Amino acid sequence: MPDIVKHRTDHVLLPILMPLISILFLWSIPENYGESVTTYNYKEFGTTLNFYSLGTNNPISRLNTSTEEIKNVGSDVEKAVIIMFDRGYENQFTVAKPILDKYEFKASFFIICSFVEGSGYHKLADGSELIHAADNAMDWDQIKQLHKEGHDIESHGKEHRDLRHLSSDELKDEIAGSKECLEDYDLKPVFFQFPNNRGADNSTVLKLVSEYFDFGLAGHSRLMFLNCDGWVNHGFKTQSYKYQYDCNPFTADGAPTRTNKFAIKEWSHDREHSRLNNKNPLLAPHGSEISDMLFTEFVRVVEAQNLYNTKAGKIVAIPIIGYHFISDSTNYDTSEELFDREMKYLYDNGFKVLKMSDLSYNDTQNYFYIK
């Protein structure tokens, strides 16, 4: 077995590798470009150094990097991004939509039916499901207006239940019932977003989702690789892509894979906001300092695709940016000003803004592609 660089280094190579090791772990490449920290063996460590080009000529590799420097990482490949919203809050229509309209962007909205119907939805609290009696959802007229104007309307579950702990009948009602609910309003969802990002690693749940939907979303990552091969073929060393060559939902022995056509990965704006708040407890959650940090990280995420797409000569990875509430009413919401600033960045820098339905899939070779 190869030695693991993170745990020990051969004494002969130590003087040579230690400066590079210090840089690599100080800059926390796994944290910046994926969702989980990963250890490297010698071969992977060398490949990572070459891939990320840690020399001074690569601006994205430096710790203190301005957004202007990140933007100027060169690429001749078109840059793309998908914008999505969870749950169906009213201010996604009243606040986010006018901003999307201003830049002529379309987005994907994942709707919880019970929320729109006025019954609230389920939330996890310390591992238990509780009914969240929220009454700030869009109504069906607003949702149908979004659909009429070319936005995606997709499913986030009938009641946002934890799929892992439901009976067979409850599970079918949550998954199939969410589709039937939307179809009752002449909407045709093909994507199912797993409530609470739970259940995609359960073969029974995954198979049932596949009976009613073409695709699904579950889990988080900075980038979504269209072939689900980020680790093997592109040096994106995070657990979500470990040892995968395609987006087949199941391994040869029938176990669910980490990332697949029913477990597409998004980058959560709320999660990043919470992380920054926890890291900087003395700063106001919606003050200029946190907002600037969050905007800089947004730029890092949407521009990080350049590292992989330029090397491949085509789009192999895209960021899927997930939002919830466009407001400053809670510490982790996205303020209207910041959302506008981020959409303006995409517009000014020539991004192709996509919906989830702009993705298609090759069922023979198990990979996504942009229509």
Q: What is the pLDDT along the chain (371 residues), one digit of tens a residue?
A: 433 333 333 344 444 444 443 333 333 333 333 343 333 333 333 333 333 333 333 333 333 445 555 555 556 799 999 999 999 999 999 999 999 999 999 999 999 999 999 999 999 988 889 999 988 999 999 999 999 999 999 999 999 999 999 999 999 999 999 999 999 999 999 999 999 999 999 999 999 999 999 999 999 999 999 999 999 999 999 999 999 999 999 999 999 999 999 999 999 999 999 999 999 999 999 999 999 999 999 999 999 999 999 999 999 999 999 999 999 999 999 999 999 999 999 999 999 999 999 999 999 999 999 99
Phi, psi of 364 (to 5 degrees): -75, -45
How many helices and strands in the chain, by DSSP H and E?
15, 14
CATH class of 80-370: alpha beta
E strand map for the chain: 80-87, 108-111, 121-125, 128-132, 152-155, 191-193, 215-220, 224-225, 264-268, 317-318, 320-323, 352-354, 359-362, 367-370
Per-residue 3-state assignment (H helix, E strand, C coil) for 26-80: HHCHHHHHCCCCCCCEHHHHHHHHHHHCCCCCCHHHCCCCCHHHHHCCCCCCCCE
Prediction pTM value: 0.83
Count CA atoms within 13 Å of residue 27 on its CB side: 21
Count CA atoms within 13 Å of residue 28 on its CB side: 8
Classify residue 302 by burial, with Cβ atoms within 10 Å: 0-12, 13-18, 19+.
buried
In angstroms, the CA 308 to CA 146 distance is: 33
Residue pair 44/284 in contact by the 8 Å Cβ criterion: no
Give domain limits for the chain. 14-61, 80-370
**CA distance to 85, 121, 237, 329, 335, per residue, from 111 (Å):** 9, 11, 32, 21, 21
Name the residue type at position 9.
T
pLDDT digits (tens, 9 = 90+) for 154-194: 999 999 999 999 999 999 999 999 999 999 999 999 999 99
- CB count, 10 Å around CB of 173? 16
